[in-house]
């Protein structure tokens, strides 16, 4: 006789899906999700055929890496494979040259999220925000953090210094899941920080939660409901880049979906918007994948105008064309060919090149759908 039976709540069902990841339902969910991914991409490609913004400003975003040290070691991040020197802070003079050059070219938005690392580790993060905010040419200033160091006191300092956007990366609010995916024991500190943050006047600061979880059902957690009432944006990072295959095993083991590989013809948006300045003092064209600045994307020849005369405008209206043309010619760098973060820049493209991009995405989508084992 059955005396007690667990009610099949959303959480129970979700746990079952995580265990039986080969189930037909989960397989169908993943397949439909990836198919929808490609359909959305092709739809955007088609819409882009009828828009033209060739006169838009190219250099409109500057990424500055405050540090390359992190307080977590996420399974989906290449931080675990960083081999070079760790920098707790970026050089002040280097930052001054970057900001001056960027503002001389018209300015725009500034991002303070490292390729790998957490910006709040830097002891100068508040000073860096304040320095950027002091320039009238700077609009938005944002960063992404794991929240371990985002105490109420630190938030108030950042808010008063002029930060405009903060994204907090986390799993579903479950300590076991957090420890498994973020490989950190600071879950309770994160939750304490989030609860304290909800009691503070955020003023004009936009706060968002970026959720990294394998769960199918994740939205109804009380913490998320409370955050929504605060006006926070909550989104799930459904797909993950595999860092050229280096984190593939970690993604698979933790049931995190690998982003499908798109067709590539148009230059990536990263080559148009602005550079990523690393804590080491190097500059790269890519703030997504160029770990430690070892690829062709950080070739000193590309950034010679900045290194020689602090001129970023000459880079993005001159020397960067060499790299952009490699996309159009089909000889793009290896790191770009394997990148799953790729996002084509339509604004400056010809109608013909947009058509080629549509065909490239259609080909990649059909290959994914009909070729077994292709992802």
Q: Note the pLDDT tens digit of each residue in 107-137.
A: 999 999 999 999 999 999 999 999 999 999 9
What's the confidence (pLDDT) of residue 35? 82
Give the pairing of strands 276-277 and 283-284.
antiparallel
Alpha-carbon span 88 to 66, nearest angstrom? 8
Domain that residue 340 falls in: 61-356
Residue 55 falls within a domain, yes or no?
Answer: no
What's the confidence (pLDDT) of residue 50? 82
What's the confidence (pLDDT) of residue 373? 63
Domain of residue 294, CATH code: 3.20.20.70
> Reading across the β-sheet that carries 206-211, which strands appear in turn?
233-236, 206-211, 165-170, 138-145, 108-111, 61-64, 276-277, 283-284
Per-residue pLDDT band at 1 (split at 50, 70, 90): very low
Residue 97 falls within a domain, yes or no?
Answer: yes
Question: Residue 285 pLDDT > 90, yes or no?
Answer: yes
Residue 374 falls within a domain, yes or no?
Answer: no
Helix axes 187-197, 222-229, angle to 10 degrees: 30
What's the confidence (pLDDT) of residue 198? 95
Residues 16-20: what's their mean pLDDT?
39
Q: How many domains does the chain have?
A: 1
Quick: pLDDT tens for 240-273: 999 989 999 999 999 999 988 999 999 999 999 9
Q: Judge whether 101 and 308 are in contact, CB under 8 Å.
A: no
What's the confidence (pLDDT) of residue 171? 98
Q: Minimal CA–CA distance to 191: which of 240, 253, 146?
A: 146
Q: Minimal CA–CA distance to 323: which of 371, 283, 270, 367?
A: 270
Residue 41 falls within a domain, yes or no?
Answer: no
Quick: pLDDT tens for 42-54: 898 898 888 767 6
Residue 237 falls within a domain, yes or no?
Answer: yes
Per-residue pLDDT band at 23 (split at 50, 70, 90): low
Alpha-carbon span 225 to 243, nearest angstrom? 33
Residue 115 falls within a domain, yes or no?
Answer: yes
pTM of the entire predicted model: 0.89
Residue 270 falls within a domain, yes or no?
Answer: yes
C-alpha angle with apex 359: 353 to 363, nearest 5 degrees? 145
Q: Minimal CA–CA distance to 241: which of 174, 180, 170, 290?
A: 290
Q: Judge whether 207 and 168 are in contact, CB under 8 Å.
A: yes
Residue 161 falls within a domain, yes or no?
Answer: yes
Q: Judge whether 272 and 198 are in contact, CB under 8 Å.
A: no
What's the confidence (pLDDT) of residue 374? 65
Judging by beta carbons within 10 Å of its beta carbon (0-12, 13-18, 19+), is residue 156 exposed, middle or buried?
Answer: middle
Q: Judge whether 168 and 209 are in contact, CB under 8 Å.
A: yes
Alpha-carbon span 182 to 235, nearest angstrom? 18
> Which residues lie below 8 Å from residue 154, measured CB to CB, with a gap of 6+?
120, 126
């Amino acid at each position: 006789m059955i005396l007690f039976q667990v009610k099949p709540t959303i959480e129970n069902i979700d746990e079952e899906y995580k265990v039986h990841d080969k189930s037909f339902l989960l397989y169908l969910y993943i397949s439909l999700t990836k198919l929808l991914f490609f359909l959305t991409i092709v739809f955007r490609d088609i819409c882009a055929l009828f828009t033209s913004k060739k006169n838009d400003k190219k250099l409109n975003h500057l990424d500055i890496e405050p540090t390359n040290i992190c307080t977590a070691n996420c399974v989906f991040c290449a931080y675990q494979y960083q081999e070079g020197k760790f920098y707790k802070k970026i050089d002040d003079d280097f930052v001054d040259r970057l900001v001056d050059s960027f503002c001389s070219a018209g300015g725009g938005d500034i991002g303070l999220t490292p390729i790998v690392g957490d910006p709040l580790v830097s002891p100068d993060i508040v000073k860096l925000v304040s320095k950027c905010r002091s320039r009238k040419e700077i609009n938005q200033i944002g960063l992404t953090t794991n929240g371990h160091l985002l105490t109420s006191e630190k938030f108030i300092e950042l808010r008063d210094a002029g930060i405009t956007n903060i994204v907090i990366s986390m799993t579903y609010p479950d300590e076991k899941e957090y420890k498994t995916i973020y490989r950190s024991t600071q879950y309770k500190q994160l939750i304490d920080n989030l609860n304290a943050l909800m009691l503070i006047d955020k003023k004009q600061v936009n706060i968002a939660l970026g959720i990294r979880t394998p769960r199918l059902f994740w939205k109804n957690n009380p913490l998320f409901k409370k955050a929504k009432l605060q006006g926070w944006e909550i989104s799930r990072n459904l797909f993950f880049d595999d860092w050229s295959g280096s984190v593939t095993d970690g993604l698979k083991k933790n049931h995190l979906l690998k982003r499908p590989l798109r067709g590539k013809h148009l230059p990536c948006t990263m080559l148009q918007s602005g550079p990523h300045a690393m804590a080491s003092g190097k500059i790269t064209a890519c703030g997504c994948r160029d770990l430690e600045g070892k690829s062709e994307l950080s070739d000193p020849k590309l950034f010679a105008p900045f290194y020689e005369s602090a001129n970023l405008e000459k880079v993005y209206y001159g020397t960067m064309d060499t790299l952009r043309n490699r996309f159009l010619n089909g000889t793009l760098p290896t790191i770009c060919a394997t990148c799953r973060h790729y996002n084509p820049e339509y604004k400056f493209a010809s109608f013909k090149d947009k058509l080629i991009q549509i065909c490239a995405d259609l080909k990649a989508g059909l290959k994914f759908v009909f070729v077994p084992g292709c992802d």
